[in-house]
């Protein structure tokens, strides 16, 4: 299989140490050795040595959520996310993607989102229309919020409305390319989507990115892929925390006890951990789960639930167990995808987004 020398080195070196074995959210949910970084490396190594065909490991390659917990914990500095994404790219180039992934890829290419959606809910459509005039600041909602959690997307606009900030929301928001990047890695199609969005972003002074997954892509991957962004890119959490600091958003602490689910894209990739906590502490009393900040455990997402729903439910349930183990009754999320994932399985535990907390719902 064609693979960069760096990835090959990481594949061949990662194997036996087990130091990242216990932190994989998928491996812990399935209890299967095949889901660990080291087992995935072994599979890729067998393909590289032509002992098995690439198609034989494809399901396993798509069982990784690329959360980077193993990268963070790897004592020897190997990067399983890098070789997993390169293997996805190679599978796409060799026409060996499984059908269930091809469907998602085709949807991304045809509609800009993996779900093949073209319309959002009525209330959000109205809110977007009300913010269609061009201002200096753009609020980028992202495809998960816009098409799969439109109530949350609407609340994201309502929070900013409360502050009196003038902002635009695009009626036809281009895709960030982050879903394609997950599915087929750094393919030309991925980079094209990213370049198209960058062109639009560069028409604004400031872009507030609602989805941490998009924020990670625009702030990190675009640079890696040579896509220039001249607009100032700000995460939604840091923007809102700033508004609270400036007194533009009046906060009243309800005294409710909550814990925060750090999205790995903010905490591990962008090293942003305190802004969401600042927001929460203005409205509630913050406790901490075990494994927080950079050690966070991914709680599932909407994209992977399209092709492995039962495992994603288990992933979310395990994270809820982490919260209830410390006596928490309410989890606050900053990632719309984790919000949906947790909400889908929460029975006694309350799941709130930061917007829910701010708007008092
Ligand atoms: S990136 Fe996350 S899901 Fe993938 S192997 Fe590492 S810890 Fe597991
Ligand atoms: S990724 Fe690192 S910590 Fe995990 S098994 Fe490989 S070498 Fe060990």
Count of residues for the chain?
A: 361
37 CA: nearest ligand 1 atom: 5
Rounded to 10 degrees, the C-alpha dihedral 184/189/194/197 comes to -130
> Which ligand sits closest to the CA of 269?
1
The pLDDT assigned to 67 comes to: 97
Residue with tokens 């229309």: 129
Taking CA atoms only, the protein residue closest to ligand 1 atom 8 is 24
The pLDDT assigned to 17 comes to: 74
Q: What is the DSSP string of 181-243?
A: HHHH-S-HHHHHHHHHHHHHHTTSSEEEE-SHHHHHIIIIIHHHTT----SEEEEHHHHHHHH
Assigned token pair, 172: 């036809």
**pLDDT in 10s for each residue of the chain, 361 residues:** 788 888 888 888 876 677 788 889 999 999 998 898 888 999 999 999 999 999 999 999 999 999 999 999 888 888 999 999 999 999 999 999 999 999 999 999 999 999 999 999 999 999 999 999 989 999 999 999 999 999 999 999 999 999 999 999 999 999 999 999 999 999 999 999 999 999 999 999 999 999 999 999 999 999 999 999 999 999 999 999 999 999 999 899 999 999 999 999 999 999 999 999 999 999 999 999 989 999 999 999 999 999 999 999 999 999 999 999 999 999 999 999 999 999 999 999 999 999 999 999 6
Taking CA atoms only, the protein residue closest to ligand 2 atom 8 is 17
Helix pair angle (274-283, 236-245), 10° resolution: 50
The pLDDT assigned to 340 comes to: 98
Instruction: Give me the domains of the chain, ranges plus CATH numbers.
Output: 5-96 (no CATH), 122-241 (3.40.50), 251-359 (3.40.50)
The pLDDT assigned to 38 comes to: 87
Q: What residues flank ligand 1, with Cβ below 6 Å?
A: 23-27, 37, 64-70, 80-81
39, 74, 80: residue to mutate for ligand 1 pocket, most atoms within 8 A of CB: 80
Taking CA atoms only, the protein residue closest to ligand 2 atom 6 is 14
The pLDDT assigned to 101 comes to: 98
The pLDDT assigned to 22 comes to: 85
The pLDDT assigned to 8 comes to: 85
The pLDDT assigned to 20 comes to: 82
Ligand 2 centroid to residue 169 C-alpha, Å? 42
């Amino acid at each position: 299989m064609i693979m960069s020398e760096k990835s090959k080195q990481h594949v061949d070196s990662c194997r036996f140490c087990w130091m990242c074995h216990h932190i994989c959210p998928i491996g812990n949910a399935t209890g299967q050795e095949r889901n660990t970084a080291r087992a995935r490396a072994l599979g890729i190594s067998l393909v590289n040595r032509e002992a098995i065909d690439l198609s034989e490991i494809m399901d396993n390659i798509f069982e990784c959520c690329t959360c980077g917990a193993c990268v963070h914990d790897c004592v020897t500095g190997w990067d399983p996310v890098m070789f997993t994404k390169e293997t996805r790219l190679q599978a796409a180039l060799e026409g060996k993607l499984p059908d269930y992934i091809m469907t998602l890829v085709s949807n991304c290419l045809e509609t800009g989102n993996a779900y093949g959606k073209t319309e959002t809910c009525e209330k959000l459509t109205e809110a977007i229309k009300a913010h269609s005039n061009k201002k200096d600041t753009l609020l980028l909602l992202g495809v998960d919020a816009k098409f799969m959690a439109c109530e949350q997307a609407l609340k994201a606009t309502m929070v900013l409305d409360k502050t009196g900030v003038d902002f635009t929301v695009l009626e036809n928001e281009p895709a960030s390319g982050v879903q394609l990047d997950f599915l087929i890695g750094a393919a030309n199609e991925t980079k094209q989507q990213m370049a198209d969005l960058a062109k639009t972003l560069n028409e604004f002074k400031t872009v507030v990115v609602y989805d941490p997954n998009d924020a990670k892509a625009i702030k990190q991957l675009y640079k890696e892929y040579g896509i220039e962004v001249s607009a100032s890119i700000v995460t939604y959490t840091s923007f809102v925390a700033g508004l609270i600091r400036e007194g533009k958003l009046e906060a009243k602490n309800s005294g409710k006890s909550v814990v925060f689910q750090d999205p790995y894209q903010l905490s591990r990739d962008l090293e942003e951990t305190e802004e969401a906590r600042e927001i929460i502490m203005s409205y509630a009393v913050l406790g901490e789960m075990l494994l927080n900040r950079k050690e966070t455990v991914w709680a599932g997402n909407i994209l992977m639930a399209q092709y492995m729903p039962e495992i994603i439910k288990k992933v979310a349930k395990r994270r809820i167990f982490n919260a209830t183990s410390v006596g928490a009754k309410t989890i606050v999320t900053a990632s719309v995808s984790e919000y949906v994932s947790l909400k889908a399985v929460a029975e006694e535990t309350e799941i709130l987004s930061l917007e829910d907390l701010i708007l008092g719902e």
